[in-house]
Structure 1
Amino acid sequence: MKLIILDRDGVINEDAGDYIRSADECQPIPGSIEAIARLSRAGFTPVVATNQSGLARGLFDLDDLEAMHAKLSALVEEHGGKLEAIFYCPHHPDDDCKCRKPRTGMLDAMEAEFNTSVQGTWFIGDNLKDLQAALAKGCRPCLVRTGRGATTEATLADHFDEHTLADLLRFDDLASAADALLSNADASDLG
């Protein structure tokens, strides 16, 4: 099984900044849905890991969140792929839970559900918490410049050493990351 882990807001869909609250507000970034479908068709198992504190904040409810995820899944299926699973943290940042990125609870849950290790798996995100969670579990962090990615990229040297920065893959968007991954028979060749 070749898992590929994706953040949601800012990677798959546009990041509204003040929370995506409904399926109507959940608008895909151009090329992201097609990229997920291409990865799926090529034998990857795309899964999502997303912090969704809007639930704890009362900005939307579980039905709203499920509608957003059903929309994204249906769009990927329309392009001939499958979004295998969506893991989310519903907690407020002050709840001190184990699942909110940069903690690794969602990644632990993926390992349990798919009976595999996420070590070495690509983890594509747009913010520091994604990269930190990826590194904490031995994933291959990959930054996209969509969403908060460009702002995150400007601060990387404040958070990581030279070795980590040298190994960090960076792409304009999810479609570019998928192109790079799919054009290499062995993703470990990228760097």
Structure 2
Amino acid sequence: MDYFPSSSAGTSSSVENSQRPSERLSGSSVLWAHLLRKDVLASPAKTDLPLPPLAPVNKSATSTRILLLDTQAHLQKFGQAVDDLTSKVEGAKHEIVTVKTLFKQDREVLMNDIVDRLNRSQSEIQKSISKPAQASKLEDFQNNFELRLESMDQRLNAIQMVNFHFISFCTA
């Protein structure tokens, strides 16, 4: 079973195709049919569209377009980075406000605790010294001190009178 065409490449293929049409419907038959149509492929069809040139016609417009696309991509990345940064800044602001309120509440609790302890200490001190043991002795000392000051005042007055009379007697 030789499925290849004979050595006369294009002449007997139509005969072989007519003899075994069911055997030639495989993928290789399509390939052979394409290879055997050299004359059809040699002359390009008039209905085919011309292929576009491989190199760009306007190089400056192409490079500008590439630069614009590149700039747009960078701007999109930058915009996303800015969005991320602003969301993080907003989160940080929220955390600062939270810490501020917590610190204020903690400070108020601490101040209230200190004031309560001071009030308790003051009331305990007042209870213990409301009538101290030395109070009566202190009053006696104060009375004694006042008497001595009065006696010193009287002596000074007497000395000044004697001095005044002596000066007036000497000048007369």
TM-score (norm 1): 0.16
TM-score (norm 2): 0.17
User: Taking CA–CA contacts closer than 8 Å with sequence separation of 6 or more, which of the two structures ends up with the larger relative contact order?
Assistant: 1
Q: Relative to total residues, which structure has the larger helix share, 1 or 2?
A: 2
Q: Relative to total residues, which structure has the larger strand share, 1 or 2?
A: 1
Computing the radius of gyration from Cα coordinates, the structure with the larger value is: 2
